[in-house]
Amino acid sequence: MKICLATRNLHKIEEIKQQSPTIEWNSLDEIECEEELPETYTTIAENSAQKALFVWNNYQENCLADDSGLEVEALNGKPGVDSAHYSGERDADKNIDLLLKNLSPFSNKKARFVTILTLVIDGKTHQFEGEVKGNIINEKKGIKGFGYDPIFVPENHTLSFAEMTLEQKNSLSHRSMAVKKLNEFLKNNGL
């Protein structure tokens, strides 16, 4: 079975493909989807579903969409659904700088990454959630990963996501938790 991976984020594609090597993945380019996928809702779950259903409704392709966010406790769950453009731009360094500035008055650095994967198979929608708790550190560490990875250290670890190998990150990340649930679902349903 072919499933379109409804993202242009090469890092997400790499993470998902590594954990689901038995699935035959299509890209948005392969299905000739040139449009920007919509993300107009106020929750991660709704945006994930919106992207997946956009591909299904417009291209009749089974697909998997991901939406993720960083929720910081002291900032009342911000940046959350706005994580990718928290600074007003899709710029990871600017987003990190703004987050660290806004968090600087607080001693509570607890945060969690959340991912919602939406799978649409033959028009039926299924969602899988993953989360990882951790803390925000005051300066960037590491050069791997993407987004907020350089300032997020998972609970019971000393390395930021950006200091970990892809294998280390995939053993405990929010996305990997959701992908494990996805793989279980596909296996249990003979897909």
What burial class does residue 136 get, using C-beta atoms within 10 Å of its C-beta: 0-12 exposed, 13-18 middle, 19+ buried?
Answer: buried
98 and 84 Cβ atoms separated by less than 8 Å: no
The whole-angstrom distance between residue 156's C-alpha and the CA centroid of its chain comes to: 21
Is there a contact between 6 and 64 (Cβ–Cβ < 8 Å)?
A: yes
Residue 13: how many other CB atoms lie within 10 Å = 16
Q: Which residue in 67, 91, 93, 149 is the catalytic one?
A: 67
Distance CA 54, CA 59 (A): 8
Residue 67 designated active-site: yes
Q: Which residue numbers are catalytic?
A: 67
